[in-house]
C-alpha cells in the first residue's frame, strides 16, 4: 500500500491521472474499473485534458463501473450511466461497446450480477480499479459489515449514505434504497487499485483503512492485503494518519521512474 499525499485534491488527482495514463501507454487495451460521485470528477477532468492533448488514447480501453441504482435506467438523469456519459465518456474516444455499467433495470438482479462477474472475467479481469471511499469506509456501495469476500450483488444503502447523496436528488426522500455494486472480493481481484480521498470528512475512514485493523466495519481496510494499491490523498484527508510524514518522505525520495508505476 503506497500513500501519496498532495497539498490539494487537484494535485492528488493529477498524480492519479499520471498513473492511469502510464498504464494506458504500456497497455492500450487495459481494463479499468471506474467509480462515480464527486471524488473522481477531478481525475476525469484531468484525463480528458490529457486526451485532448493527445497524451492518452481510450480507443481500445474497456471499462466496468462499480455500481448503479436499482430502478434507474441508462437514461435516468441521476443514473450512473448518465453520470459517466456527462462527466467522462462523451469527452473521450472510448468505444461504446467497451463500456459496462450495471443494469439498474435488470429484472433478475442475482442473475445479472453473475453475468457482470462473467463479463469482467471474459475481458481478462480489471487491470486498474479506481475507488473512492465513503466517510464510513465503504468502497463501491459495500457498506460497513459487508463481507470482505463479497461479489457483485444488490445492497441496501445505509442511512448515512442516503443522507450524503441527498444533495444530488433534491432531498433524502428521493434517494433510492438499493444499488447493484461490485463486491469487495470482486474489487480485490483487480491487478491494481487506486483509491482517491479528499477533504477532512474522509480523514477518519482513511486512517482506519490505512493504519487500522482489517475489518468489515471499514470495508476499505481490506485493501491492506492487496498486493498493489496506491492511495492519493489531499492534505485534509491525510490529517488522521499517524505516519503521514513518513509517507511523504517515502514518496518524495522514490526514484523518478518509480513514482507513477
Q: Active-site residues: which are they?
A: 67, 136, 138, 143
The vertex-244 CA angle with 243 and 247, nearest 5°, equals 90
Q: Provide the 8-state DSSP code for 17.
A: H
Of residues 257, 219, 190, 252, the one with CA closest to residue 4: 252
Distance (Å, whole) CA 227 – CA 3 = 14
Distance (Å, whole) CA 159 – CA 171 = 13
Under DSSP, is residue 183 helix (H, G, I), strand (E, B) or coil?
Answer: coil
Q: Find the radius of gyration of the CA atoms of the chain.
A: 17
The vertex-91 CA angle with 20 and 183, nearest 5°, equals 50
Q: Provide the 8-state DSSP code for 89.
A: G
Amino acid at each position: 500500500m503506497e500513500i501519496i499525499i498532495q497539498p490539494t485534491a487537484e494535485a492528488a488527482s493529477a498524480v492519479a491521472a499520471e498513473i492511469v495514463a502510464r498504464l494506458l501507454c504500456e497497455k492500450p487495451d487495459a481494463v479499468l474499473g471506474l467509480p462515480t460521485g464527486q471524488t473522481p470528477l477531478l481525475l476525469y477532468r484531468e484525463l480528458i485534458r490529457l486526451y485532448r492533448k493527445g497524451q492518452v488514447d481510450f480507443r481500445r480501453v474497456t471499462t466496468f463501473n462499480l455500481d448503479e441504482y436499482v430502478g434507474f435506467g441508462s437514461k435516468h438523469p441521476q443514473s450512473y450511466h448518465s453520470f459517466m456519459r456527462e462527466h467522462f465518456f462523451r469527452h473521450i474516444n472510448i468505444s461504446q461497446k467497451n463500456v459496462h455499467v450495471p443494469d439498474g433495470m435488470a429484472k433478475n438482479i442475482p442473475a445479472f450480477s453473475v453475468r457482470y462477474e462473467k463479463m469482467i472475467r471474459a475481458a481478462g479481469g480489471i487491470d486498474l480499479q479506481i475507488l473512492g471511499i465513503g466517510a464510513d469506509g465503504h468502497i463501491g456501495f459495500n457498506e460497513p459489515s459487508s463481507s470482505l469476500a463479497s461479489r457483485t450483488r444488490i445492497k441496501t444503502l445505509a442511512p448515512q449514505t442516503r443522507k450524503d447523496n441527498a444533495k444530488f436528488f433534491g432531498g433524502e426522500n428521493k434517494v433510492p434504497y438499493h444499488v447493484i455494486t461490485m463486491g469487495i472480493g470482486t474489487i480485490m481481484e483487480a491487478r491494481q487499485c487506486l483509491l482517491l480521498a479528499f477533504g477532512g470528512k474522509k480523514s477518519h475512514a482513511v486512517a482506519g483503512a490505512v493504519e487500522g485493523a482489517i475489518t468489515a466495519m471499514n470495508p476499505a481496510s481490506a485493501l491492506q492485503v492487496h498486493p498493489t494499491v496506491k492511495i492519493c490523498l489531499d492534505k485534509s484527508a491525510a490529517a488522521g494518519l499517524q505516519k503521514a510524514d513518513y509517507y511523504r518522505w517515502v514518496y518524495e525520495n522514490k526514484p523518478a521512474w518509480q513514482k507513477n508505476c
